[in-house]
Amino acid sequence: MTIDILMPRPMLPIVQEQLDANFTVHRLYEADDPETLLAEVGEKIRGVAMAFGPVDKAFLSKIPNAEIVASFGVGYDHINTDDCLAAKVTVTHTPDVLTEEVADTALGLMLMTVREFGQAEQWLRQGNWEAKGPYPLTQATLQGRTLGIFGLGRIGKAIAKRAEAFGMEIHYHGRRKQDGVAYPYHATLKDLAAACDTLMVVAPGGAETQHAVNAEVLEALGPNGIVINIGRGTVIDEAALIAALENGTIFGAGLDVFEQEPKVPEKLLALPRVTVLPHVGSASQATRNAMGQLVVDNLKSWFDTGKAVSPVPEMG
């Protein structure tokens, strides 16, 4: 029996080729009129393979016989899991396979931000080293810094392990104190910010963390404070961050994610001690292929055994 899969947007070749070999794939993005195609095939769809885009009650009503949504990425704030649970649709994501890559990016971004390596590179490329002399001495150093991690999950722990090797003291905040974790725990994000001078945001997006890093938290971080975000852009109130940077409330920021990607506020880009990356935390071919393979494995496992490989926590 043929199993019909919906693919709303293009995915990696490793995903497309394997799904084509095992399922009948309906590519919504290739349709002249996606809504017409969805109306024609919606009742046949039993699974969805997707990288991003909203999944909610309205979307699920168009594919009433869907059993699984296999999402590409560890974050899944674009999916309303309550609506999926109500519709008896399993949701999967791709954790673990990107943990080490994102942790490496986090440390690289932190180093770039503290030591202004990106700005120093541009100084050289623009001919300033020869014309104006050495790049100015950086005011900040990584030595002696205390790292506060907001979100001590798989990636947060991998970051902490790397940061310890740099001699940093580690503190953390999350929904609860974790058993077996020796790092000092802070019950509020403001308390964490007050206890550290480098705040690493690893928290997922969604309503629970929307603008969790606000003006009050940034003020607690202080004038030597640096914010690094490799979680979700929505976790930081960008307007408050810009104001804190402009006013000297904090020292600098390193950002791989933004509130309205790919749009980045011009005011943010104009600030001198801000290092930015275009959401490349897990963006190596090897890691993205591993993530894509997990999307395929989730779909194949579900239809072969009735169990997914990596369901999101809400699925029990």
Amino acid identity, residue 62? K
Tokens 């002249």 locate to: 32
| Token representation of residue 201 | 């945001």
Pairing of strands 169-173, 4-7: unpaired
List of residues 6+ apart from 295 with CB closer than 8 A: 11, 15, 49, 70, 71, 72, 92, 94
Q: Is 167 helix (H, G, I), strand (E, B) or coil?
A: coil
Closest CA to 107 of 181, 51, 170, 175: 170
What are the residues facing 91 on neighbouring strands? Answer: 69
Catalytic residues: 232, 261, 279
- The pair phi, psi for residue 72, each rounded to 5°, is -90, 110
